[in-house]
A = this chain, B = another copy of it.
C-alpha cells in the first residue's frame, strides 16, 4: 500500500485533501476541465507547485488542455482511500470536542467519528452530532477498532490519556492540547496548538510585514 506512494513529499501529501475538496466542488458545479492556473487561484497554491504535486502520481493532465475534472476526482478519491472509512474516536467533549462532533466530517471525508469519551456525567450517555458519548472509564472497553483519536482534553490529562490510547492500539493522535505528548515510535502524533497558531500569526504580523509581496 505504501511503496510507490512513499516517495511523495510530505508537503504534497498535506495538500492532497485540499485538492480533493476543490476538485469535488468543481465536479458538483458541473465543470468538465480545469487548468493548474484556475486551481491555483482557488486553493492559493502556486500553479507550478500544483503541477509538480500532481506529477508525482504520473501524467494526470493533457498538455494544452488541462485536467479532466472527473478523471482527477476519481483518481483522488482512490488515492485518498475515500471509499474506505477510517474510524476515529474523540476524547474530551468540551467546547472544542463538541465543535468536532457537530462538524460533518463525512461530507467530503474518509473519516468518521464513531464515539466520544468524557469524564463528566452530564455528557455521558448523550448523543452529540449523532455521536454517542461514553464515560472515559470505558475507553479501553469501547475503543475496539478505531485507529485514530482526536485529543481535546485538558492538557493536564493529555499524557495520561495518550498512554491509555496507545495501549488500546491507537496509531494516530490529533493532539489539540498544548502538551507535547510522548508516545512510542510507531504512533504518529500531529499537534495543533491553537494558542501557538494565534501567537505566531501575531509574531508574523509584527516582524514580517507584507505589502508588495505575495502577489499572485
- Chain A residues within 8 Å of B, Cβ to Cβ: 1-2, 5-6, 8, 10, 13-14, 16-18, 20-21, 41-44, 80-81, 86, 88, 94-96, 98-100, 102-103, 105, 108-111, 147-148, 150, 171-172, 174, 178, 180, 182, 185-188, 190, 192-215
Contacts and interface: CB of A to CB of B under 8 A. Distances in A.
B205 A147 contact: yes
Contact of A110 (B108, B188, B199, B212): B199
**Copies of this chain per assembly:** 2
Given A108-B195, A195-B105, A197-B192, A1 B99 contact: no
A185 B95 contact: no
Given A105-B195, A185-B213, A211-B186, A200 B13 contact: yes
Given A171-B205, A185-B213, A197-B190, A99 B94 contact: yes
A186 B208 CA distance: 11
A194 B21 CA distance: 13
Contacts of A8: 207
Contacts of A202: 81, 86, 110-111, 148, 172
